[in-house]
Amino acid sequence: MGSAEVIEIPIDKQKVMLLALVQIIMGFIGYWLLQNYSTFDNNLRYFTLPCGIVFIITAPLFVIFFIYKFFDKSPGFIISNEGITDNSSMTSHGFIPWSEIAEIGEKQIVLRSCITLLLKNQQGYIDNASSGYKRMSWNSTYKRYGVDAIITSGILKCSSTKLFVMLKTGLENYNKGK
């Protein structure tokens, strides 16, 4: 990155609409599972009831998020000389200055390559979370994976590998210039 270069990675609108469609289908599957609950044998009932409930509860939440992201004009991810801004998920951390990032790594999570961040003041970010949902999610991420933030390129117009290289380069450039 140059002295004043800002890299803006847009949201892939086609991916977002495809994911919204998948969630709508999952909602209908959940509804069908609950409607046909009594037709399944006893062993499958333990599976169909919870799945149906989870599908019906989560599908509308994700559809609303994906529709919001479809119409959102702001970039999904920004890399600048000051730091990074993540707007790509429901639990995004928003702006994180390079000075707060201790380490950037990669981790396979549920068959997906994810970028992980270790922050110097993780508790400060959790305490200042804009919602209880984010606070709970960030705590869970740390307890489950041992990292402070997880970044995926799922709805971005950028591969995970390319994003990882840009982030590592940005952090290295910041550390050289200190």
| Same domain as 86, residue 63 | no
Whether 5 maps to a domain, the answer reads: no
Contact between 1 and 7 under an 8 Å Cβ cutoff? The reply is: yes
Task: For residue 162, give Cα distances in angstroms to 89, 97, 109, 165, 175.
Answer: 18, 20, 18, 5, 20
Q: Residue 98 burial by CB count (10 A; 0-12/13-18/19+): exposed, middle or buried?
A: buried
Exposure string of 108-136, with b = 16+ CB inside 10 Å and e = fewer, is eeeeeebbbbebeebeebbeebeeeebbe
CA distance 150 to 143: 13
Contact between 33 and 91 under an 8 Å Cβ cutoff? The reply is: no
| Same domain as 22, residue 60 | yes
Domain hosting residue 87, numbered range:
77-177
Whether 40 maps to a domain, the answer reads: yes
**pLDDT for the residue 4:** 65
CA distance 90 to 100: 21
Domain finish residue from 71, 94, 112: 71
| Predicted TM-score (pTM) of this structure | 0.84
| Same domain as 117, residue 156 | yes
Domain finish residue from 71, 98, 114: 71
Q: pLDDT tens across 23-38, in order?
A: 999 999 999 999 998 8
- Helix or strand run (H / E) with residue 125: helix 122-127
Q: pLDDT tens across 86-112, in order?
A: 999 888 888 999 999 999 999 888 878
| Same domain as 147, residue 109 | yes
Whether 7 maps to a domain, the answer reads: no
Q: pLDDT tens across 135-168, in order?
A: 888 888 888 888 888 898 889 999 999 999 999 9
Number of domains making up the chain: 2
| Same domain as 148, residue 60 | no
Domain finish residue from 71, 96, 120: 71
